[in-house]
Amino acid sequence: MNEDESEEPGGATDANDAGSPGDDLTHTDERGEVQMVDVGAKPDTARRAVAAGEIHLSPGTVAAIRDDALSKGDVLATARIGAVQAVKHTWETIPMCHQIPITNVETAFAVEDDRVTAEVAVETTGKTGCEMEALEGVTTGLNVVWDMVKAAEKDADGQYPGTRIENVRVVSKEKRSL
Amino acid sequence: MNEDESEEPGGATDANDAGSPGDDLTHTDERGEVQMVDVGAKPDTARRAVAAGEIHLSPGTVAAIRDDALSKGDVLATARIGAVQAVKHTWETIPMCHQIPITNVETAFAVEDDRVTAEVAVETTGKTGCEMEALEGVTTGLNVVWDMVKAAEKDADGQYPGTRIENVRVVSKEKRSL
Amino acid sequence: MNEDESEEPGGATDANDAGSPGDDLTHTDERGEVQMVDVGAKPDTARRAVAAGEIHLSPGTVAAIRDDALSKGDVLATARIGAVQAVKHTWETIPMCHQIPITNVETAFAVEDDRVTAEVAVETTGKTGCEMEALEGVTTGLNVVWDMVKAAEKDADGQYPGTRIENVRVVSKEKRSL
Amino acid sequence: MNEDESEEPGGATDANDAGSPGDDLTHTDERGEVQMVDVGAKPDTARRAVAAGEIHLSPGTVAAIRDDALSKGDVLATARIGAVQAVKHTWETIPMCHQIPITNVETAFAVEDDRVTAEVAVETTGKTGCEMEALEGVTTGLNVVWDMVKAAEKDADGQYPGTRIENVRVVSKEKRSL
Amino acid sequence: MNEDESEEPGGATDANDAGSPGDDLTHTDERGEVQMVDVGAKPDTARRAVAAGEIHLSPGTVAAIRDDALSKGDVLATARIGAVQAVKHTWETIPMCHQIPITNVETAFAVEDDRVTAEVAVETTGKTGCEMEALEGVTTGLNVVWDMVKAAEKDADGQYPGTRIENVRVVSKEKRSL
Amino acid sequence: MNEDESEEPGGATDANDAGSPGDDLTHTDERGEVQMVDVGAKPDTARRAVAAGEIHLSPGTVAAIRDDALSKGDVLATARIGAVQAVKHTWETIPMCHQIPITNVETAFAVEDDRVTAEVAVETTGKTGCEMEALEGVTTGLNVVWDMVKAAEKDADGQYPGTRIENVRVVSKEKRSL
């Protein structure tokens, strides 16, 4: 139970509120105007957020990635680097996000029979959470995979009938005092 | 049928190949090393790519976005701007993408009963396609929506049990000579 | 009286100096060479700076913005977002500025009969002030307004005879110990 | 008379319209939603825009800048570089601006008795105008001057009672066929 | 012999001048003020520049990179990606550089007994050369290698007594009409 | 002896290890996959790193820089600014670097008979070192010098037979408790 998440009043204002989502929007004020959230009075805490998602690919593409992974591995290396860079750039990608000091990023890409899965964990010591950073890492990491396999995934008309990014979610979000 | 997609040999090398995806990876060379694709010899053509996706939200959050949309509308305005900016930044987000002159971006966000859908169309006059730009617009636009409704979507433990980005896909990809 | 503003020796070195501006330039050393200011030995303090300015527009343009504000409001929403992003990018826009952790940004745009006014407040917890961030927010926010009303403001020759950004100033600058 | 400025319908839709500003907002569509302008069908033309503005300073500060200009000159050199960089970054600073190929930037800063004036000319060969680029160059260039003279301009309370950026305007905007 | 390099008058103003370098500075005007070069009147040409350099490392570090290259190869993959990204960012890294459309980047890193060598080729179709892009690719690529082997290269006092980047040069620079 | 450099285990794991470089690579994990280093558990310390390097130039070019330095000095002012900006951008240039709060940057460029030397000192208060920031400042600063003297350095064929960046090194690296 994260009782002092003043940035995110939804479930946090009252423990009895569990299960009933709040109805306030985080980044708009009482006039409906978009705003940054004031985090100046919040203490520094250690935060960790993990997000995950997957890209569905044709069997031929998965085989090509596996071949590459067995030899050089640059496809997944590029996705890992793209994910880390996206995490660090979240403050400019997501307009109302704060600049926070990222202390750790862990990326895990796995090649399954009909998809590549991505999991990105982000840690920070600061005044606000880092789930947006983890989500940006996942979606950009999966987009990088897409970019790397464009030739293999396209059909004869240059379209992508089967390629899909699915199931992008926040796996967990933790906070502990310093 | 886009017969001269030399960047993307998958379906393009042979028209008879329709339906059978190629097995080459776009951005790795014969040694498996990551590389940019040489587009210097390709003619300028008019390109358009449309991508789409959706974020599943709780009914309470959807109601809050609708209230906001009826009054100020800053939630979706922020998502539209985030999507346009993400389109323009694709060359630095996706490591192997080229800098291309974007001539048009159209964004359409729709609020449905249990989700917000996003569609982003990108047009360019250049030597390479723009589906990665459209995909970046969609995934970042949906992440911005997530960021704007964090308070409403979180449960009492600060988690997002029902929030999901799903069905991110390339709707269409076109090219015509100038 | 901010007695320990070692970064900014002008009025601060001596209280008797009030009213007589200092003659040192902040970012050039004794040889006249541009330099960053060393803030490593300065304690973290809570800072707030407010800047303001205005853009003069034709009555027809003001009416169009009011119509838009009554319905969707995307003109001013875009300006608000542009201002927030400019605040966060000041460290790269102004060459000698430090990267500082912005904890809060408040933007207020008001539509008057012949102008739009902008006020941007920035707060940080750090080793240096944030008036440059507030000024960047104001000037970029006003430039975004200009960009959004280009069609309405231009005369038949494509010129802007009456459009002006005026009165850009620092309204206040505060500092308090943590 | 620039008759084909389809991006900017204000004065351009009708030559008889001279003097009566249009009432359409450039970057919002019929639903009031913010949008980029489609420039794909526009021919490449040679464009030049000149913007100007000034920063009012105390006599002591002006004297300090003149001293610096006589020796090293890094104050104005930094402002020139900041202006050029701001011109090149306009596509990311102003949300709805296109990425355009800047072919030339000219900056002129002049030190007068109670102010520094800035004029920035921008040239491009492309599908859309460059007055926003020139305006960004002027306002950022003047903000850089402010940053460089903070110590000299502040009073004993750390405030800026007399510092002002004024009269930011588009001096001229030209277009000619290639 | 590149006779029309008006941007770079050094050797180009006169063919008889071969061997005697010019004495003009590219980016300062007659008053010594820094400026961008006007390339608006220059025709589009196909350009290619190749730069190279090397980082000297201890034998133990070279062995570690070779081990990595035999298995995953992420050290050199990261350097390749860093080099490509640096090429694309040159317009903001080098203040007076233009934004140019990069059509191709080729990177080649080789592991020798006591060093890693880097060669970066850049191609563009535009109005100005791309040797600065190639140089930025080489120096950043080598810095990325340094970053990846910090642990192996440091001595017991945390210093780098033997690590050196050397011999950074432009290997060739070509231009041909379109 | 910096005994707690857990980020950089090379020489630091054991004082007896002095002189024998470690064999671990900093940014790859046990599977050889590129990763950021977790610095969350490290205390904030005051860090300083100094890097240096030089660019070899023809005597005519050196004379032109000296002339410029005697009058306006914009060549070296531009290099100083480029170096400071490169220091601040290291977190995005070097993929696995953290965003750290730079508290001070000192740049020193010296014009010698056949070269320009650069030394860049960087200070931070944080959880990780700043030698990569200092190296980026040096290499980019020297590349800026190259860019500014392109006309003077090129021979009649547009090549750079004698221009070289050499001897880029970390001069010192210090850490002290707060």
- pLDDT band per the 50, 70, 90 thresholds, residue F75: confident
- Would you say the C-alpha torsion E151, E57, F27, A71 has a positive or negative sign? negative
Selecting from C73, C88, C125 the residue whose C-beta is nearest the C-beta of A91 gives C88
- Could you tell me the two tokens for A127? 């005044």
- pLDDT band per the 50, 70, 90 thresholds, residue F73: low
- Give how far A168 is from chain C: nearest CA, Å: 26
- pLDDT band per the 50, 70, 90 thresholds, residue E55: very high
- Mean pLDDT, chain E, rounded, equals 85
Q: Which of F116, F120, F126 is nearest to F165 (CA)?
A: F116
> CA angle at residue E37 from E33 to E41, to 5 degrees?
145
Residue B177 near residue B148, CB atoms below 8 Å: no
Residue E49 near residue E103, CB atoms below 8 Å: no
Q: Which of E134, E146, E177 is nearest to E3 (CA)?
A: E177
Assess whether pLDDT exceeds 60 at residue A5: no
Helix, strand or coil for residue C123?
Answer: strand
Domain over B15-177 is classified CATH 3.30.70.640:
yes
Which residues touch E19 (CB under 8 Å, ≥6 apart)?
F155, F156
- pLDDT band per the 50, 70, 90 thresholds, residue B145: very high
Determine how many CB atoms are found less than 10 A away from the CB of residue B101.
18
Is B148 known to sit in a ligand binding site?
Answer: no
Touching chains, D (3+ CB pairs < 8 A): B, C, E, F
- CA dihedral defined by C1, C4, C6, C12, rounded to 10 degrees? 30
As a whole number of angstroms, the distance between CA C94 and CA E33 comes to: 19
pLDDT digits (tens, 9 = 90+) for B14-44: 333 333 333 467 788 877 788 898 998 888 8
Which residues touch D41 (CB under 8 Å, ≥6 apart)?
none
CB contact under 8 A, B36 and E101: no
As a whole number of angstroms, the distance between CA A83 and CA F132 comes to: 21
- Give how far C45 is from chain D: nearest CA, Å: 15
Sheet containing C45-56, strands listed edge to edge, beginning at the edge strand earlier in sequence? C102-111, C115-126, C45-56, C164-177, D164-177, D45-56, D115-126, D102-111
Selecting from D140, D154, D169 the residue whose C-beta is nearest the C-beta of C164 gives D169
pLDDT digits (tens, 9 = 90+) for D31-84: 778 889 899 888 889 999 999 999 999 999 999 998 876 566 688 999 999 999
b/e string for E7-31 if b means 16 or more Cβ within 10 A? bbbbbbbeeeeeeebbbbbbbbeee
Which residues are paired to C105 by β-bridges?
Answer: C122
Selecting from F46, F80, F81 the residue whose C-beta is nearest the C-beta of C40 gives F46
Q: Which residue has the higher pLDDT, C19 or B86?
A: B86
- Give how far B125 is from chain A: nearest CA, Å: 18
Q: Which of A128, A126, A130, A84 is nearest to A106 (CA)?
A: A84
pLDDT digits (tens, 9 = 90+) for C96-145: 999 999 999 999 999 999 999 999 999 999 889 999 999 999 999 999 99
- Could you tell me the two tokens for D174? 């030209």
What's the complex ipTM? 0.87
Assess whether pLDDT exceeds 70 at residue D16: no
F74: chain D residues, CB-CB within 8 Å:
73, 77, 80
- Could you tell me the two tokens for F159? 């090549």
Q: How far is CA B172 from the centre of its chain?
A: 11
CB contact under 8 A, E38 and D80: no
pLDDT at B28: 80
As a whole number of angstroms, the distance between CA A56 and CA A73 comes to: 19
Is C97 known to sit in a ligand binding site?
Answer: yes
